[in-house]
Amino acid sequence: MPARKVSSSPPRTVLIPKVVIVGRPNVGKSTLFNWLVEKRIAIEDPTAGVTRDRLVQRLMLEDRVIDLVDTGGMGFDDPDGLTAKIDAQIESGLGAAAVVLLVVDVRTGLVPADVEVARRVRRSGAPVLLVANKADDPKFDPEAHDFDALGFGPPLAVSARQHRNRGDLVAAIVERLPEAWPDEPDVVDLPEMKLAIVGRRNVGKSTFVNALAREERVITSPVAGTTRDSVDVRFEVDGHSFMAIDTPGLRRTKSRTTDLDFYSTHRAQRSIRRADVVLLFFDATEPVGKVDKQLAETITEEAKPVVFVVNKWDLYAADVRRKEWADYLREQFRMMPWAPVAFATAKSGRNVKAVIDVAQRLFRQSRTRVPTARLNAVLRAAVETNQPPADTRGRPVRLYYATQVEAAPPTIVISTSAPRSVSEPYKRYLLNTFRKALPFHEVPIRLLLRGKSAEPNDE
């Protein structure tokens, strides 16, 4: 059954039960997670050990709000030396679980690794629902009883790939949830602002997220590519709820050689699309590279407010002034002259809150709506100061009126006698005039030109 749509009401502090998915590698945990969420959130790949961090998605099952948690495979020896950190993430998930979904593979049958997983799960003390995945056909259902030996009762046979028995699984989860609190919401509340934290590898994105969450919420290490999924992390600042989206560090196109590189790139791009504000991270000790410019192009295409965050500033502050770095970024990203620059040291937490304050300012600017009368006063003054060039027949181009049709991003439509005759330099002139005169100083603006009978031209 579909997850219920979210509301935009202010967030409330309530105890949301966590349903934690665990199991050995390659039993289909991430596929099951995506199946329940009804979105492709977690990476699904036959490579063992793909999931490292806890992935959390808030949704509604029947009449209950839950946080569904995906975890890494138990018993996997990570080749990058991150086994202990992955295990710590799993244990943190189990420690907070209201219900545990222990996933097994009905096709391979009971193996010693399942017994070890069951032993660890039993220590959590939470209700356990045994889920026999990959039962693509009813003929596999009898084989699921091999797992009765684990001591959690008869398993529920499902197939996340074939969408088999999802309703039974949802009902079984809800049945095992603790009794609802009196103030538990009947809708899924959105955080006030979603922040996508993007950048190339090893610029300190995950360290920054942990500083926001005030816990080791995502794995950090010197190993390039530690983060593989986009990880949603809720946090609070000054009583306001936000969501940080930690994204995989990107590599240059020619260096993307595996499916994981492709998935990571896709996840980062999707995170930019669903964010309210983007934090584009730079390493203070490294020059701007091609990946940084590719990310900036995506941010520009999506018309997202962005803060340039120069991280690890403590390693460079003695050698270069902030203004020099800011001027350097302005030169590198001339298409985004409105983007503010912030400096932080995520490892120590220095200036982390200041970065969020800047992001909140951009968030408010992006959602501002300007009265039509004020907008047209600015347009008239702009035209009086600098008339638009004539059309192809030498006739004067008339700009009749302007109106803001959308926010986030602010979208302004100008009615004109000849949309195609308004030159690119003149469009830039209008955008700069609007940005200076209106409360959109640090965010992108979309400008549409509309003729009397034509569709608007998106600029």
Same domain, 352 and 208: yes
Give residue 224's pLDDT band: very low, low, confident or very high (50, 70, 90). low
Same domain, 145 and 246: no
Is 50 exceeded by the pLDDT of residue 3?
A: no
Same domain, 231 and 171: no
Nearest partner of 165 among 207, 133, 117, judged by Cα: 133
The alpha helices in 186-231, defined as continuous H runs, are 205-213
Measured CA to CA in angstroms, residue 331 lies from 293, 324, 326 at distances of 12, 11, 9
pLDDT of 56 reads: 87
Same domain, 97 and 39: yes
Order of strands across the sheet that contains 64-70: 55-61, 64-70, 18-22, 97-105, 128-133, 156-157
No. of helices (H) and no. of strands (E), the chain: 11, 16
pLDDT of 393 reads: 85
d(C-alpha 232, C-alpha 230), whole Å: 7
| Residue 155 near residue 162 (C-beta atoms within 8 A) | no
pLDDT of 299 reads: 96
Q: Among 126, 150, 176, give the residue marking a domain's end.
A: 176
Q: Among 366, 397, 416, give the residue marking a domain's end.
A: 366
Same domain, 418 and 342: no
For the chain, how many residues are written?
459
Same domain, 293 and 413: no
Give residue 231's pLDDT band: very low, low, confident or very high (50, 70, 90). confident
Nearest partner of 2 among 46, 35, 44, judged by Cα: 35
pLDDT of 111 reads: 96
Same domain, 222 and 112: no
Residue 249 lies in a domain: yes
Residue 266 lies in a domain: yes
d(C-alpha 124, C-alpha 21), whole Å: 13
Is 80 exceeded by the pLDDT of residue 237?
A: yes
Same domain, 155 and 204: no
Is 50 exceeded by the pLDDT of residue 2?
A: no
More confident residue, 334 or 188: 334
Is 90 exceeded by the pLDDT of residue 436?
A: yes
- CATH number, domain at 376? 3.30.300.20
* Structural domain that includes position 446: 372-458
Out of 58-67, 219-228, 360-369, pick the least confident: 219-228
| Residue 267 near residue 275 (C-beta atoms within 8 A) | no
CA Rg value for the chain: 26
Query: What's the distance, Cα to Cα, between the start and end of the chain in Å?
Result: 41
Average pLDDT over every residue of 219-225? 57
Out of 169-173, 388-392, 399-403, pick the least confident: 388-392
pLDDT of 440 reads: 97
Q: How many domains is the chain partitioned into structurally?
A: 3
The alpha helices in 302-443, defined as continuous H runs, are 322-332, 352-366, 372-385, 424-437
d(C-alpha 297, C-alpha 302), whole Å: 9
Same domain, 225 and 333: yes
Residue 188 lies in a domain: no
pLDDT of 13 reads: 43
Task: Give the rounded percent of residues in the chain with a pLDDT score beyond 70.
Answer: 83
Q: Among 366, 392, 410, give the residue marking a domain's end.
A: 366
pLDDT of 227 reads: 55
**Cα dihedral 371→375→377→382 (10° resolution):** 170
Same domain, 335 and 383: no
Same domain, 254 and 322: yes
Q: What is the pLDDT of residues 45-96, one digit of tens each?
A: 555 555 667 888 889 999 899 999 999 889 877 666 767 877 888 898 899 9
Residue 90 lies in a domain: yes
Average pLDDT over every residue of 9-37? 83
pTM, two decimals, is 0.76
Is 60 exceeded by the pLDDT of residue 457?
A: no
Is 60 exceeded by the pLDDT of residue 454?
A: no
Residue 62 lies in a domain: yes
Is 80 exceeded by the pLDDT of residue 400?
A: yes
| Residue 195 near residue 243 (C-beta atoms within 8 A) | yes
Q: Is the dihedral of CA 431, 437, 438, 442 positive or negative?
A: positive
- CATH number, domain at 257? 3.40.50.300
Residue 4 lies in a domain: no
